[in-house]
Amino acid sequence: HGDTMVPLARYSTVAGIPLPDLVKMGWTTKEKLDKIIQRTRDGGAEIVGLLKTGSAYYAPATSAIEMAEAYLKDKKRVLPCAAYLNGEFGVKDMYVGVPVVIGAGGVERIVEIDLNASEKKQFMGSVNAVKGLVDACKKIEPAVASGKPAKGKAPKAKASARKK
36's enclosing H/E stretch is: helix 30-51
Return d(Cα 1, Cα 21) in angstroms, integer.
24
Give dist(CA 71, CA 68) in Å, integer.
5
Q: How far is CA 30 from CA 4, 8, 20, 76, in A?
A: 20, 14, 8, 34
Catalytic residue among 1, 77, 109, 131: 1
CA distance 88 to 98: 10
Q: Is residue 1 flagged as an active site residue?
A: yes
Rounded Cα–Cα distance for residues 50 and 52 (Å): 6
Task: List, by residue number, the catalytic residues.
Answer: 1
